[in-house]
Amino acid sequence: MSMDAITIDGLCRQLQQELSDSRVDKIFMPRREEVILSLRSRRGAWKLVISCSGAGGRVYLTGEKTENPDAPPMFCMLLRKHLTAARLLEVSQPEHERMLLFRFSAYDDFGELSEKSLVVELTGRRNNLILLSGDGTILGCLKKVDSEMSPQRPILPGLRYRMPPRPVRRSLLALTEEEARALAKKALSQEEGAKALTGELDLVSPLIARELWHRGGGREEALAAEIMDLSRRVQEGDYQPTLLRRGEEYVDFSFMPMSHLGEDTQNLPQEGFSQMIERFYGERASEERRKSVSSALEKRMANQESRLVRKLANQRNDLLRAEKREDLKRRADLIMANIHMIPQGAEKVTVTDYFSPDLPQVELELDGDKTPQQNAQALFKEYTRMKNAQQALEEQIVQGEQELEYVQSVQLALQQARDIKEVNAIREELLESGYLRSKEKHPKKKKPAAFQPREYTSPSGLRILCGRNNRENDQLTLRTAGKNDLWFHSQKAPGSHVILFTQGQTPTGEDLEYAARIAAGHSRLAKQSLAPIDYALARHVKKPAGAKPGMVIYTDYKTLFVRPLDD
């Protein structure tokens, strides 16, 4: 969703007022198409976010912390070279285009003051961030545009910067009342009048054109008056930053309230354009980051799961062969029992099976390069190897199954994570467990994420907590739950730990069923019509030494079959 020119004008006025005469302290690029300038002045400190991603290009002030890559990109290094410690002179909107110009005063390599400019183009899919020298030469850009991509306007280092081409339309700010009436009359004569307003007037976006059309009510004088009032608003900066919300979702934003979107759309006034833009894009950006980080982790864990499944299949096949080792010993014993009858160099031999009651004749295959005694020794050696291997394989298979269960529990937690904080908590868990490697040589130990399990209330008013990840599951079950509280978990399937706090009472059947349904809904059994859920007193749940996060064993349990709760 692109920012229109009038909204950018309101944002420009706010940024000019708040940031003028501040200095650039630090510059970061947390993401490929996003730059953050940390600015300071006597009035305070700000973080200016400039995002050029797709149709969601935006500029706003924020106080949120962001994670930055260990190695800054080349464009970030270029910005640091030219703009670190630079003083912001002015924020402007050239020719009322959908762009912002940040003009800085900075010292060059020779210690002399020079001007540098940062151009933020917010034109939709071609959003860009361009660093200019004092004479308008392009020093660098976030997205390079060569002559093949745009023959009329390439954007490359060393070229002179040129303004984006403008469509020929009437100027809203220079419009007279007579011209407004003529324009209203022309629009009313067309089938798509709102679209005609967008095509005739600059600065007017489709959303604003529809609002003008709605307010005009099909009357020429009323529509002309609305057009002139819009012109006055822009000239005077008479704006009302407004978020438009439908249900629980922000659907759009504007510099004034919208009445044409219907009663189900709320107009929420905002204290400023920057705050409005941050709120609108904050949830979306957080969701984009959650999906990006989560999908990368899910892919890694899916690969880990596939590797474990293959490894377990191979180990089980080896175990089957090891369990058939008695045949090797029998063949070796038969060779030794008939060794006096086996000729040297024989590859096949028929011998008497003295270990069977009816003494049948049995054909054995031999290695002709070995003596009969060497053949028997080779079989005894393989028998001993398989006997030792069986015990090791059984231990490895148990360990592999436990690791597979843990990996699947992480996958489930990633699928159910609601925000970037929950995904980052899982990422930290994987770093500690060794499934991820930190890019830092000496990573600092981070504070564990706040313990915030999902909370519910049972039908009789008892408190129920549900872990969001394996570390929370451990804390909830092993440290938070009392010995007489009830623990719930999906049977033989990854899932969250759920604790029903009894508070000295005897839970009702409805309480038990509700807690079990929560456990089912936060497990791999969530899509089943009926899910088996085991529950036991918390004191009967133990964590084996060395077990991975969230992995426990339990005894003295009962099972309920319930319909999973859909949150």
All domains of the chain in start order, with CATH: 5-141 (2.30.310.10), 177-279 (no CATH), 296-450 (no CATH), 454-562 (no CATH)
Q: How confident is the model at residue 235, as a pLDDT?
A: 95
In the sheet that holds 558-562, the strands lie side by side as 454-457, 463-466, 498-500, 486-490, 531-537, 558-562
Q: How confident is the model at residue 502, as a pLDDT?
A: 94
In this structure, the chain runs to a length of 567
Contact 37, 48 (CB under 8 A): yes
Give 262: exposed, middle or buried? Use CB within 10 Å, 0-12, 13-18, 19+: exposed
Q: Could you count the other beta carbons within 10 Å of the beta carbon of residue 395?
A: 10
Does residue 477 carry a pLDDT above 90? yes
Question: How many Å apart are CA 520 and CA 448, to the nearest integer?
Answer: 27
Question: How many Å apart are CA 382 and CA 380, to the nearest integer?
Answer: 6
Burial 59-75 (b: 16+ CB within 10 A, else e): bbbbeeeeeeeeebeeb
pLDDT in tens, 330-364: 888 888 888 888 888 888 888 888 788 888 888 88
Question: How many Å apart are CA 455 and CA 452, to the nearest integer?
Answer: 8
Does residue 175 carry a pLDDT above 70? yes
| pLDDT band for position 447 (cuts 50, 70, 90) | low
Q: Return phi, psi of residue 17, to 5°.
A: -70, -40
| pLDDT band for position 78 (cuts 50, 70, 90) | very high
Q: Which whole number is the average pLDDT over 57-76?
A: 86
